[in-house]
Amino acid sequence: MGGEPFQKARHDLAPPSRPIVRLRPKAEARAVRHGFPWVYADELVLDRRTAGLEPGALAVLEDAERREMGLVTVNPKSKIVARMLDRDHEAQLDAAWFEERIRHALALREALYDQPFYRLIHAEADRFPGVVIDRFGDVAVIQPNAAWAETHLDTLVAALQAVTGVKTVVKNATGRARSLEGLSEETVAMTGALDGPVPVHMNNAVYMADLLGGQKTGIFYDQRDNHAFAARLAKGGRVLDVFSHVGGFGLAALAGGAVSALAVDGSEPALTLAAKGAAAMGASDRFETRQSDAFEALETMATDGAQFELVVCDPPAFAPSRKSLDAGLRAYERLARMAAPLVAPGGYLVLCSCSHAADLANFRAACTRGIGKGQRQGQLIRTGFAGPDHPMLPQLAESGYLKALTFRLD
């Protein structure tokens, strides 16, 4: 892919004088030195000068002994007041800086996948704090969820096109992460144009991704490997895909030989896209959709005595923050309790969580309690995570957010 992936940014021109921000004496400087990428508001000296910096401003981070630690971006309006951009505090955020990091990220994805459909940039793990980029062939969707990315967005887009050759770049500036940064919301095509949903081929299934009006970037690449595993279990069986979005698990199961799949979701547009995906696969006769609240649908099906060889529940984050953890775990337990009775004897139940705040142990315990309360028991046969195009930064537990538990029920 050319170039050394971790070489220092160029210093053709001396960077302008940058403000200095400093850790408080009791802050854990060692964690930052060892790779933790964030500094919280209560760890930084927030004097009048620092508090007056514009969101997204660049600054040199120092420890309490005034030793330089690296180049950070600062947002006094955010709980994450500083994010590490480069261990070289003199680095310039020019085209070469962006292109070098995108090339490094691209090399991994090209080693993993034959087709250009994947998450290209996974925020801190790809050294782009707060930035997500998903690729759909010659289209890319950027989520600039940190203030610095907004400030440098034009340079980022130009570098993305130069390295990957994508023609259309969509800015998807929506969601909770942006509100926490004090940023506004909008979704717009920055370059090129789109004339409808983009077909995405994964696991022998076809998904229709709405890149301008769909959830997040239009599709959830992180579940790719979990889709594939579940599809192996679904061969010859009936499948229930709850919180299906555009048909994630259900369409993969049909491609894997399931005799039928029922997709349940609260979003009619998402189910319409799922049906279009099934049609593109030639599987419309085996695919059914139901627009409904998930819990209401589960209750109705239990009353009707419905049974499936594979039941999958892939809800939105029930515990997006520590404050919501207890309520979120109760929701996961309730979901497991209601889903378990719908699994045919010897069948499989897949329960997923994308909650940052709910770690694997807590999520697994909640699911196990729920299955028991649903008068079922069985084996945990697999614990799945996000695919390798969603790498985890080892120092940042939040980057390993996705959990997918597969149970075989007696």
At 114-162, the pLDDT tens digits run: 999 999 999 999 999 999 999 999 999 999 999 999 999 999 999 999 9
pLDDT in tens, 297-348: 999 999 999 999 999 999 999 998 889 999 999 999 999 999 999 999 999 9
Which runs of consecutive H residues, i.e. helices, occur in 132-175? 147-151, 153-164
CA atoms within 13 A on the CB side of 49: 7
**Positive or negative: CA dihedral 175, 181, 184, 190:** negative
Domains assigned to the chain: 20-86 (2.30.130.10), 95-191 (3.30.750.80), 198-409 (3.40.50.150)
CA atoms within 13 A on the CB side of 222: 24
Question: For the residues 192-199, what does the mean pLDDT come to?
Answer: 94
Q: Rounded to an integer, what distance in angstroms lies between the CA atom of residue 372 and that of residue 352?
A: 17
Buried (b) or exposed (e) across 164-186, using 16+ Cβ within 10 A? Answer: bebebbbbbbbeebbebbebeee
Q: Can you give the pLDDT at residue 16?
A: 57
Arithmetic mean of pLDDT over the chain: 93
**Tokens at 154, concatenated:** 């034009």
